[in-house]
Amino acid sequence: MEMAAVAAAAAGSSNVEFIRARSDKREYRRVVLPNALEILLISDPTTDKAAACMEVGVGSFSDPEGLEGLAHFLEHMLFYASEKYPGEHEYTKYIVEFFIKPLMSQDAVLREIKAVDSEHKKNLLSDGWRMYQLQKHLASEDHPYHKFSTGSWETLETKPRGRGLDIRLELLKFYENYSANLMHLVVYGKGSLDCIQGLVERLFSDIKNTEQRSLKCPSDPLSEEHLQLLVKALPIEEGDYLRIIWPITPSIPFYKEGPCHYLSHLIGHEGEGSIFHTIKELGWAMNLMAGESTDSTEYSFFSVSMRLTDAGHEHMADIVGLIFKYIALLKEDGIHEWIFNELAAINETEFHYQDKVHPISYVMHTVSSMRLFPPEEWLVGAALPSKYAPQRINMILNQLSPERVRIFWESKKFEGSTSSAEPWYNTSYSVENVAPSVIQQWIQKAPTEKLHLPKPNIFVPKDLSLKEVHEKATFPTVLRKTPLSQLWYKPDMLFSTPKVHIIIDFHCPLSSHSPEAVVSTDLFVDLLVDYLNAYAYDAQIAGLFYSIYLTSVGFQVSLGGYNDKMRVLLNAILEKIANFEVKPNRFSALKETSVKDYQNFSFRQPYSQASYYVSLILEDKKWLVAEKLEALAKLESDSFAKFLPHLLSKTFLECYVQGNIEPSEAESVVQEIEDTIFNSPNSLFKSMSPSQYLTKRVIMLENELKYYYQIEGLNQKNENSSVIQYIQVHQDDAALNIKLELFSQIASQPAFNQLRTVEQLGYITSLSLRSDYGVLALKVVIQSTVKDPLYLDGRIDEFFKMFESKIYELSDKDFKRNVKSLIDSKLEKFKNLWEESHFYWGEIEAGTLKFDRVDSEVAILRELKKEEFIEFFDRYIKVDAPQRRTISVQVFGGNHSAEFNKAVAETDPPKTYRITDIFGFKRSRPLYSSLKGVTFSTVCCVQERRRHEDATSRINTTPTQIIYTA
């Protein structure tokens, strides 16, 4: 103990009384090394993962003039190599060295500029990047906010070379800004604080402290000429957006008073009387977000953003007028202490009952607090405003004035009427002056609908007590089963939190049998969410979350959060579902938005389009986007109302309940669900027989045959092309699962290194696993502007050929190390209730019901021989393997139209098959059996199945042997 105390003193350890959640059992220590590096140590004996995050206070605002993107480029370069560990990507073992002596070789510099440029080209057609840069462009040129931050070949190679600059020397010069006194580090581990402290002292003490000063940018990036503006911008995608922005005093210095938290709660509220509820009912907007955003502690913005309908586009002035009317209402009505106290109580409950997250997420979140808050508040940051200060709220409120406003309005309707172009992304725009007198006219003309403050929140939880668990349950069990529904239940055995997770899966087989059925079900779900929004918004504020979303054979309702008021929210949702009615005005607004979303599929990144085509080829019931768009365009509110009863006339409910809830209450909940859904007078839902149960199935590819699907990208203005090479391996099987996962783990980094880093084929490059309804595969993705998809596909094949020797030469030591790493990954504990329930629900939803999957697969891994792994590679993965089954989906972008024409004209090589008619091809292929085929009629609990399993845990999971008896 004495030695530990001496070490602590030498390193500048200090005893800090951290403000922490009541449920937090971790230990913390603040340490300052002699080089002035400030560190937070976290000891968690229960963790199975360690994590560290370093924040360096040097970013794009520090880019030298004329070297835009240098800070971003440096971040890329640090991941290459260092003096002590010169092999590229050895940083995965010795990551600390790139803060001490990075190499930055000339060859690596030139290659990585291409990667930065590829990343930039990926962003060129992204409206998010384009509009963000436009806001920065219309700011003071001498302020860092104005800068272009990501960099490109032009800014990092062409222009510097033209000025006689050596970019590598500029990079090394810029790296001198990386001083220990500008860094903050969080280290999270299993060991004691003394042990972790010894580690960080040894690893991080050599980082140089060159006494750099942190950048202090001017406080205001906007001069008077950048205010009172209306900016009309032309986006790439369909959809109109409106952003009203004001520069404000940053609220970080007043984090205990939370002025922006109070104002964003009211201005962004979605309940009755709010801005959004009003403009939504008028049919003008689809969503609304309000709040503070900032890149610096020196300045900040408050913004109100929304997606407009076509009608909303025509009423832009009225919408802006309504927003200013509401701001005036807040000023006139005064600041209310009860609202502040309600928010403070909600925040306090949320903080003290926060869910544990993965260590890497925790350290990333925490390190950002170290720069902004005193040490005792590093764990809480700005999460607990506790000081009621109406004058501070009024200070910000007064800054939301017509004199300080900037309005950004995006629409394709501005085509041909813009007069300027932003230089980096070439975004077309025009600027008009909007004087305060004009805003006053808008306010006077705006509708006179009743705007008012929200009422007290009925969903704030009061009862946070924990239910007593009488019967221990390791896995979910079937608690209740009727012809209408089935209930899976599991009590909370791990987290001791007053929360519950409820999933209701509406299995409606008629919902996917045609494009019309799919778009109708989608609209039904959208309308449900729309109808519930005003009522359920308070629930979300109070920590009760719900979602309703489309599935492959119906839709799903998911609820999570504090169990106290869960049934109140659930009953409201069920009531809306059972008594659904079509409101023509909302139908029209949501249909309009949905049509635009389908149209925007053309503007997706090529790799995303390629992934869609893979799914289209594999799935037996998958409709073309064009077919769904055509069906949606023809759909009207009256035909939709007539179609719904047919759509929902066959329904079965699969329910899952887990958390702080007793078995009898879970049964009561599902009985209530059943009664409301099937027995309400106006309900459209009817029961179905077992023979009507429908599941998605997957196409089985042919051994030793490579399928090609080649198509031009839907947006030929996008220069990027993409390829996905999909290698289908097997249907869920424990022994094959672990071999495929092991190969992916071993090969993913070398594939990235070879295809992305060495060959510089494209910024988006990955090798990973893919699962389609239990059919597992390997996929390699590349997106590129420099090479066409056929060439990229050939390079993927060459990688696999090159990698054969790596597999065959794999040492016993490396094999065992990789096996141990995979075992450790599988044995990682669930961090919270949602992780655990999603795992178990995933098994139920897939129909596999392998709740003990981790134990069974780990048991096989422990016994796995290297020879077995190599035999698996030889049989399924390597090029020309006897059971290799491959599809290469190739999307040709605007840079490669000539290569596309050449490719489709070429004769197919041996052992290849060109897919020209996707649906004809699918009809010619057999299907994998459904893992969920028996779920409806013959499910029993897992304990029953386990009696039939082999004692060695080598579970055979081929479809013919998944047999359950009721």
- Tens of pLDDT along 194-214? 999 999 999 999 999 999 998
- Mean pLDDT along residues 941-953: 35
Name, in order, each residue with C-beta under 8 angstroms of 233's C-beta and a sequence gap of 6 or more: 130, 131, 134, 408, 409, 410, 414, 418, 427, 428, 429
For this structure, is 836 an active site residue?
Answer: no
pLDDT (tens digit per residue) in 826-873: 999 999 999 999 999 999 999 999 999 999 999 999 999 999 999 999
* Residue 104 pLDDT > 70: yes
**CA triple 687-691-695, angle to 5 deg:** 90
The per-residue pLDDT for 962 is 23
The per-residue pLDDT for 689 is 84
* Residue 252 pLDDT > 60: yes
Closest CA to 308 of 286, 279, 282, 278: 286
* Residue 9 pLDDT > 70: no
The answer to whether the beta carbons of residues 410 and 235 sit under 8 Å apart is yes
* Residue 47 pLDDT > 70: yes
Closest CA to 511 of 396, 643, 421, 412: 643
Name, in order, each residue with C-beta under 8 angstroms of 225's C-beta and a sequence gap of 6 or more: none
pLDDT (tens digit per residue) in 315-353: 999 999 999 999 999 999 999 999 999 999 999 999 999
The alpha-carbon radius of gyration of the chain (Å, integer) is 29
* Residue 11 pLDDT > 70: no
Give 758's DSSP letter: I
CA distance to 67, 465, 612, 707, 883, per residue, from 925 (Å): 55, 56, 19, 12, 16
- Mean pLDDT along residues 249-268: 97
Q: Which of 413-427, 484-498, 940-954 has the lowest mean pLDDT?
A: 940-954
Q: With pLDDT > 90 as the criterion, what percentage of the chain qualifies? A: 87
The per-residue pLDDT for 515 is 96
* Residue 954 pLDDT > 70: no
The per-residue pLDDT for 948 is 36
- Mean pLDDT along residues 905-921: 94
The per-residue pLDDT for 965 is 23
Task: State which H helix or E strand residue 6 sits in.
Answer: helix 2-11
For this structure, is 410 an active site residue?
Answer: no
The number of angstroms, rounded, from the C-alpha of 643 to the middle of its chain's C-alpha atoms is: 34
The answer to whether the beta carbons of residues 406 and 145 sit under 8 Å apart is no
Residues 37, 187: Cα–Cα separation, whole Å: 13
CA distance to 25, 46, 158, 315, per residue, from 43 (Å): 9, 9, 49, 56
pLDDT (tens digit per residue) in 569-602: 999 999 999 999 999 999 999 999 999 999 999 9
Q: With pLDDT > 70 as the criterion, what percentage of the chain qualifies? A: 93
* Residue 78 pLDDT > 90: no
The per-residue pLDDT for 940 is 37
The answer to whether the beta carbons of residues 317 and 442 sit under 8 Å apart is yes
Per-residue confidence band for 775, with pLDDT thresholds at 50, 70 and 90: very high
* Residue 539 pLDDT > 80: yes
The per-residue pLDDT for 505 is 97
The per-residue pLDDT for 958 is 26
- Mean pLDDT along residues 931-938: 55
pLDDT (tens digit per residue) in 123-146: 999 999 999 999 999 999 999 999
The answer to whether the beta carbons of residues 163 and 66 sit under 8 Å apart is yes
936 or 505, greater pLDDT: 505
215 or 575, greater pLDDT: 575
Q: Which of 58-72, 494-508, 901-915, 935-949 has the lowest mean pLDDT?
A: 935-949
* Residue 114 pLDDT > 50: yes
The per-residue pLDDT for 237 is 96
* Residue 685 pLDDT > 80: yes
Q: In what order do the strands lie in the sheet with 38-43?
A: 13-14, 27-32, 38-43, 183-189, 51-56
Per-residue confidence band for 247, with pLDDT thresholds at 50, 70 and 90: very high
The per-residue pLDDT for 13 is 64
DSSP characters for 563-614?
STTHHHHHHHHHHHHHT----HHHHHHHHHHHHHHHHGGGGS-HHHHHHHHH
Verdict on whether the full-model pTM lies above 0.85: yes
Q: Which of 164-173, 772-781, 938-947 has the lowest mean pLDDT?
A: 938-947
pLDDT (tens digit per residue) in 444-453: 999 977 899 9
Per-residue confidence band for 218, with pLDDT thresholds at 50, 70 and 90: confident
Q: Of the listed 27, 75, 835, 944, which one is catalytic?
A: 75
The per-residue pLDDT for 1 is 33
Residues 83, 86: Cα–Cα separation, whole Å: 6
Per-residue confidence band for 944, with pLDDT thresholds at 50, 70 and 90: very low
pLDDT (tens digit per residue) in 626-647: 999 999 999 999 999 999 999 9
* Residue 955 pLDDT > 60: no
Q: Which of 40-54, 264-278, 866-880, 939-953 has the lowest mean pLDDT?
A: 939-953
Q: What is the dihedral of CA 22, 23, 26, 29, to 10 degrees?
A: -20
Name, in order, each residue with C-beta under 8 angstroms of 380's C-beta and a sequence gap of 6 or more: 19, 20, 351, 369, 373
The per-residue pLDDT for 87 is 56
- Mean pLDDT along residues 21-28: 96
The per-residue pLDDT for 627 is 96
Q: Of the listed 38, 68, 97, 112, which one is catalytic?
A: 112
| Mean pLDDT over the full length of the chain | 92
- The residue behind tokens 């230089």 is 423
